[in-house]
Structure 1
Amino acid sequence: MKLIRFLEKHFSAVLFCFSILSGAYVYGIASYKYEWFPVPVLQQAKAGFDAWQKLEAKEVIYGKVEDVTVPKEDLTTWLVEPRNYDDLLLITGGFEEQPELCPELGCIAWIMDREGNVFHTWSVSRADLFDGQEFEGFSGQPGRDNVNVLSVDLDGNGDLVVTFQAKNMFPYHIGSMRIDRESNILWSFINHAHHWPHIAENGEALLPWAQLEQSPKKHIGPTRIDTNCSEYGAVYEEGFQIYNPAGERIRAVRFEDLFLKNRLMGLVYSVREGCDPYHINGLVELNEATAAKIEGAEAGDIAMSLRSSSSLIIVDRYDDIVHQVIMGPMVAQHSPVVTERGTFVLFDNLGGLASQGGSRILEIDPVSGLGTSLFPLAGDTEHVLFSEEQGVVRLSENNERALVSVSGTGKVLEVDLLEGRPIWEYLNQTSLSAFVRRIGETTDANFALMETRGADYVSRDFVEAVLGRTEPIGVVQPEA
């Protein structure tokens, strides 16, 4: 009775409150469905909170695999009788790595022989990156101190194209740089390049590219395919971009647009993580032999590795045309290269047998789309290979050997592809003295084993004629 009398007395006020609540409920449903305010704000806040959760509580050098209490003195090891190869090796390093060779800033890359004798280095300061550019749109702790080298590629003039990723920042795709043989910066941009770059025959830089979409759309383009993104509150909208040697971006392609145009939406439906539906992690220019095996393709077109869909796509260099899609033989692969046989070779992270480690170096025939394991060989019970993430393979000039960067282990293996066995090994150990100086703190160890994010072949003639080096300038061994 009291309730009835209360409602009779305050009916207008109760009706008004009920109307407000009902309207708020209806608006809440509609705002969620159509992403009206405040949904975008909440999603951006969630993305920032996720980035904050990923911040490292203690400063650590980027790419560290493990601390080394007692430094290993022999970083290079022949696993067979030493062989007399004339080529040298380009090793990807990073800021503050190998401070004995690059005392001020560390070596972002160096060229060495198989005994660890170093012939040339490149070194750049973080403070000189991205002159006049700001880290707009980044969460976490945006700044140059959190920018790190991911990979490099070398052109015929001694220029390096470098890509940068970040720790303690969201998103992690940062940008790229081109420096000359003397480490002078030719250009550097916060252009959201990431993973492994590739310098084409004409000197253009082919770069993976990412954009952050906040708030993520509910569907992929005009399709009914749900984005299925819940982890970050943002979608990595990726593609590729091309820069000429002068630093002008001459092409940029978004995968969503490309796949919609070519009716390849199965590539976004098949992914394991909707917030990262493409994850381009390597690209390479087609040579004549490979292009000849792909209908409609020409030398200079681009093959790209997409980790999320475990696919290799071949895209026209100048038009938005996909010439071929290869799926099936590999899982979460990285770093494709082309051979003189007209095939692709890549680091297949998860497509191998668990009994052989789980990873493999895979050769793919673009005609059949099928793959053959080059290392470990089928039936090999002696050798194992595994890197769940990253992993790079590069071929010698005659395609008979491969340098395999097993990133998560800190090792580079040289593999004889004719024999299907490793013949040489390098451990990427560095002193932490430069890193300790920068952060102004002590560490638990003086050395660290670092990820191997790239090793490639360089001819000795190139080093002598272009870089002007005939004698070593140092070694990658720890100080006594």
Structure 2
Amino acid sequence: MHNSDRLGFAMFFMAIVLLAFIGGAYIVLAKVFPYDYLNNAYQAGKALLVQRSIDDPYTETDLWRRARTDERGVTINDSEQAYQGYTLYTSGDGTYAQLVDMKGDVAHRWELPFSEVWQETPSGKTPRPDDLMYWRKARMLPNGDLVAIYIAANDSPWGYGMVKVDRDSKLLWSYKAHVHHDLDIAEDGRIATLTHDFTDEKIEKFPQLPSPWLNDYLVELDGESGDELSKTSLLHAFFDSSYAGILYATPHFGVADPMHTNSVEYLEQAQADAFAPAEGKAGQVILSFRHPGAIALVDPESSRMNWAIRGPWMGQHYARVLENGNFTLFDNLANYEKGNRSRVLEVNPQSNAIVRYYIGDDEHPFDSGLRGAAETLPNGNRLITESDGGRLFEVTPAGDIVWEFINPVRGGDKDQFIPVVSSAQRIAPEQLGADFRAVIDTTRRTSS
């Protein structure tokens, strides 16, 4: 090839590169075809790179936190004021749940690795290793059966599915979907939960949505079979209601996950009668939407959003309706005090007034930026899950801590990390079936 030919070829090549650069820049800036395909591929590649580059699960995932104390197990136990029973909890170090007594002794344990149920994620991808998963939420039935949600670290969508196991951890059914955050079991056995999936759907009323974005769904399952009974798109429920404007409060950092729905609870008839926004209709579900800071009622039968509200909370989780007509929230961030950012609120839905709250103090700091829950017990106390602290505790209406349990598991070269905890459930012995009570008693006698 002559020198003039080489020069001509080089100039031709540079011209092609320049045109490709200009064309690529125009596609990216103008977001015209095939921008969506290129962007999706880029985002997927970036997510895969992050997902596969975990060297230290203690500092590079949200399943562990730096331990705030050397104490482990039960540290406070006021037998006169605490609601007596067993406490179920899950831990960020694995796909298991444990039932402990008031002294913190393990009465029963359930465990089922993801790899023994499925070989792929609901999206058909290679799942995270079993040691990077845990049960985000678990609920125990009186006979010892357990329903649990699998969550994986550093993946999106990050919910991996739901299972029901018996008291021996044998699989009864599985529901393969991107189930996340929460579940509730109605008195008739139906299960309400949340799923999400990426979509490229364009929403004219919400042009800020990127492509792709995560849509959340309210799903009902049959408790005996795990079959899907209904599925409601929550973004469409918002925009088909008179509360659509609430979504425009979604912060810019969360627009790809515009709702970040994080809790569900069925309203039984007594709750529906007391809770004014429900207007006496049982079967509706109260939900918490973290990013727009909203609480709402959705009827899975009609897929309609019948009520929604925003209030003086931030990053909230775990909306629960009380039979006095109020609702409670785990308010993760709105207290702003160093070491005591979190609060548990009781809110009047008609006035939006906070009628009761719990905050920490210097002796017992209270701070969980992520997750968190609060269950109101039959005696009026509240069982609080401080997830980031790896801590469960029970407080009286006056704010006195009468029971406290700190996750005994530690990790790291100096035991400086503690797994997060979530989904605490207090069960009185008389609520359990006789056969399961006998198993618990036998297990405890054998281990003692």
Q: State the TM bucket, normalised to the shorter chain.
A: 0.7 to 0.9
Tell me, in whole angstroms, the C-alpha distance in 2 between the residues paired with 1:157 and 1:404: 25
Local SS of the residue matching 2:167: coil
Deviation sequence 1:386-417 (CA, Å, 0-9, x none): 2111111112123x111111111111111112
- Aligned match of 2:228 in 244, 249, 252? 249
Which residue in the other structure is 2:5 paired with?
A: none
Q: Provide the aligned length of Structure 1 versus Structure 2.
A: 428
Are 2:441 and 1:471 aligned?
yes
Trace 1:19-38 onto structure 2 (pairs within 5 A): 29=26, 33=30, 35-37=32-34
Contact 1:173 1:192 in 2 (8 A): yes
* Aligned-partner Cα distance in 2 for 1:123–1:295: 38
1:408 maps to 388
In structure 1, what is the Cα distance between the partners aligned to 2:56 and 2:430? Answer: 44
Q: Distance in 2 between matches of 1:412 and 1:450?
A: 12
- When Rg is computed on C-alpha atoms for both structures, the one with the higher figure is 1
Tell me what 1:116 maps to.
104
| Residue 332 (structure 2) pairs with residue 332 (structure 1) | no
Q: Aligned residue for 2:259?
A: 278
Opposite residue 403 of structure 1, the aligned amino acid is L
Give how far 1:343 is off. 1.7
Q: Distance in 1 between matches of 2:347 and 2:435?
A: 34
TM-score of the two chains, using structure 1 as the length reference: 0.78
- Aligned partner of 1:163 in structure 2 is 149
Tell me the residue number matched to 1:147. 133
Task: Please list every run of 5 or more consecutive structure 2 residues that lacks an aligned counterpart in the other structure.
Answer: 1-7
CA distance in 2, matches of 1:356, 1:94: 22
Q: Counterpart of 1:429 in 2: which secondary structure?
A: coil
1:355-370 alignment, distance < 5 Å: 357-370=340-353
Matched position secondary structure for 2:39? helix
* 1:181 Cα deviation from its structure 2 partner: 2.2
Amino acid at match of 2:245: G
CA distance in 1, matches of 2:313, 2:319: 11
Cα distance, 1:281–1:412 mapped onto 2, change above 3 Å: same
Distance 2:416 2:23 in 1: 60
Q: Verify the 8 A CA contact 1:376 1:421 in the aligned structure 2.
A: no
Cα drift, residue 325 of structure 1: 0.5
Structure 1 match to 2:66? 66
Percent identity at matched positions? 22
Partner of 1:321: 304
Q: Does 1:395 align with 2:376?
A: yes
Q: Which residue of 2 aligns with 1:236?
A: 214
Partner amino acid, structure 2, of 1:318: E
For residue 309 of structure 1, give the secondary structure of its aligned residue in structure 2.
Answer: coil
* Cα separation, 2, equivalents of 1:23 and 1:62: 41
Contact 1:302–1:317 (Cα < 8 Å) also in 2? yes
Q: How does 1:292-331 map to 2 (within 5 A)?
A: 292=273, 293-296=276-279, 298-331=281-314
Q: Deviations over 1:184-217 (max 9, x none)?
A: 111223300011211121111211111113xx56
CA–CA distance in structure 2, aligned partners of residues 162 and 26 of structure 1: 49
Match of 2:358 among 369, 375, 391: 375
Equivalent residue, structure 2, for 1:3? none
Q: CA deviation at 1:144?
A: 4.8
Q: 1:310 and 1:63 mapped to 2: Cα distance?
A: 24
Going from structure 1 to structure 2, the CA distance change for 1:261 and 1:362 (only over 3 Å counts) comes to: same
Moved more, 245-254 or 255-264: 255-264
Say if 1:427 and 1:449, in contact at 8 Å, map to a contact too.
no
Deviation at 1:287, TM superposition (A): 3.0
1:126 maps to: 114
Distance 1:81 1:38, change over 3 A: closer
For 1:438, the equivalent position in structure 2 comes to none
The whole-number CA distance in structure 1 between the counterparts of 2:99 and 2:19 is 69
1:428 Cα shift?
0.4
Opposite residue 408 of structure 1, the aligned amino acid is: D
Task: Indicate if the aligned counterparts of 1:395 and 1:457 stay in contact, CA closer than 8 A.
Answer: no
Give the letter for the 1:460 counterpart. Answer: P
The one-letter code matched in structure 1 to 2:402 is: I
